[in-house]
Amino acid sequence: MENIIVVNGNELSFEQGETILEVASRAGIEIPTLCHLKGTTPTGTCRVCVVEVEGKGELVTACSTKAAWTKFQMEVQADDDADELCPAWGDCRLQELAYQYQVTGDRPVGERWDPVPMETVNPFIIRDFSRCIRCGRCVKACNEVQVNKAITCLEDSNGRITKIVAGNDKPLVESDCVFCGECVQACPVGALVEKDSRYKWRPREVKRVRTTCSYCGVGCQIELHVKDGRVVKVTGVDVPPNNGSLCVKGRFGYAFIGSEERLTKPLIKEQDGSFREATWDEAIKLVAERLYGIKEAVGPDSIGVFTSARMTNEENYLAHKFTRAVLKTNNIDHCARL
Ligand code: SF4
Ligand code: SF4
Ligand code: SF4
């Protein structure tokens, strides 16, 4: 029989080069994974996806074993390191699998983690390797998805990951890290977390709102995690153009939304250079009168309009329409061309 594997009694066809994991998931058969990261080369380090293959003397990892004519049964191996004080509690892949497969840890609380000091000096990311399960997803995310190559895996003589290091084992802030946060999003446990939101909210407390990042024209799709009307975290959505990835601005640049320093009312500049608060009606009337006056006195081409990458496409479109159709000038430009 060619190009057929039998998974738990189900005959499934496969394409050359497909892994057991890919064939099974295409057929809707779930094989649990931890270290597997979509779009990157498999490592098989966590061994959560091990399956029994007929005729093979040992268990194989479904994520890195190519499908071949064979039969196998799934087995699950997982450890239970999840605890209620973990910052990822409720949003942890390890905890999810432990619940789903009813895995119980056999180590007493307090002996579960290697005591490693947390790295808190970075601007956006806390690294807590006491919680690291050494799956290597962060390194795949950094090196193969974002291609920043800021972190690597140290391995022992058996090829097992012993530590994740940045540069020559430095804090991220002293390495080539650009703080895109891809590693944080890929971490399946609470070993890498966003500094600003650690312990400030629980995943179950937030409402997720899908929107478009407005920092630049790429238009990355993002999800805002909102608690009590405040954005507490941003994650990428796995659709084009970004397929889940974000840059530092899209992922971490949201503090301005709830900033106390943000202008909420228009300010009118007085003759002496001071500003005073005004109503929108007053401010818009004043701007309209001034623009009209300049246009009438010295012509529309004496006016220029600059728009911004911080605005949405729709707002930029409106600005262009206003400039050309209302002001009657083609003097419209955008900060991206500076
Ligand atoms: S934040 Fe980005 S660049 Fe820095 S280690 Fe993580 S993935 Fe690499
Ligand atoms: S930091 Fe997270 S993603 Fe990286 S190896 Fe540890 S558990 Fe895996
Ligand atoms: S996340 Fe970064 S690249 Fe994507 S739209 Fe926002 S600013 Fe642009």
Q: What is the pLDDT of residue 182?
A: 98
pLDDT band of 59, cuts 50, 70, 90: confident
pLDDT tens digits along 225-282: 999 999 999 999 999 999 999 999 999 999 988 899 989 999 999 999 999 999 999 9
DSSP state, residue 62 = T
**Ligand 1 pocket test target in 139, 151, 193, 248 with most atoms within 8 Å of CB:** 151
Of 76-90, 164-178, 196-210, 298-312, least confident by mean pLDDT is 76-90
DSSP state, residue 170 = B
**b/e map 312-334, b = 16+ CB within 10 Å:** eeeebeebbeebeeebebeebeb
Give 3-state DSSP helix, strand, coil % of the chain, rounded to 5: 25, 20, 55
Nearest residue by C-alpha to atom 3 in ligand 1: 177
**Ligand 3 pocket test target in 148, 211, 216 with most atoms within 8 Å of CB:** 216
Whose tokens are 């189900």? That residue is 10
Task: Give the homologous superfamily in CATH for domain 202-261.
Answer: ADC-like domains (2.20.25.90)
With a cut of 80, say whether residue 108 has pLDDT above it: no
Q: What is the pLDDT of residue 195?
A: 92
SS3 of residue 257 by DSSP: helix
Phi, psi (rounded to 5 degrees) for 54: -60, 130
* pTM of the predicted model over 0.85: no
| Average pLDDT of the chain to the nearest whole number | 87
**b/e map 34-62, b = 16+ CB within 10 Å:** bbbbeebebbbbbebbbbebeeeeeebbb
Q: What is the largest CA-CA distance in the chain?
A: 90
Fold for 4-74, please state it.
Ubiquitin-like (UB roll) (3.10.20)
Tell me the C-alpha distance between 195 and 97, whole Å. 26
Q: Are 41 and 140 in contact (CB under 8 A)?
A: yes
Same fold, 82-91+105-199 and 202-261: no
Q: What is the pLDDT of residue 325?
A: 97
Instruction: Considering every ligand atom shown, identify the ligand nearest to the alpha carbon of residue 222 and give its number.
Output: 3
Most confident of 68-82, 99-113, 291-305: 291-305
Amino acid at 119: E
CATH code for the part of the protein at 82-91+105-199: 3.30.70.20
Is it true that the peptide bond before 241 is cis, omega within 30 degrees of 0? yes
Domain ranges of the chain: 4-74, 82-91+105-199, 202-261, 267-337
In this structure, the chain runs to a length of: 338
Q: Are 189 and 132 in contact (CB under 8 A)?
A: yes
Give distance in angstroms: CA of 191 to centre of ligand 2: 6
Q: Are 301 and 331 in contact (CB under 8 A)?
A: yes
State if residue 180 touches ligand 2 by the CB under 6 angstroms criterion.
no
State if residue 145 touches ligand 2 by the CB under 6 angstroms criterion.
no
Amino acid at 217: G
pLDDT tens digits along 142-182: 999 999 999 999 999 988 899 999 999 999 999 999 999 99
pLDDT tens digits along 243-255: 999 999 999 999 9
Please give the average per-residue pLDDT across 59-83, as a whole number.
64
Q: What is the pLDDT of residue 80?
A: 43
pLDDT band of 78, cuts 50, 70, 90: very low
- Tokens representing 48 are 């959560």
State if residue 164 touches ligand 2 by the CB under 6 angstroms criterion.
yes
Give distance in angstroms: CA of 107 to centre of ligand 3: 43
Q: What is the pLDDT of residue 77?
A: 45
Q: What is the pLDDT of residue 81?
A: 45
Tell me the C-alpha distance between 70 and 6, whole Å. 6
Q: What is the pLDDT of residue 230?
A: 92
Phi, psi (rounded to 5 degrees) for 152: -140, 165
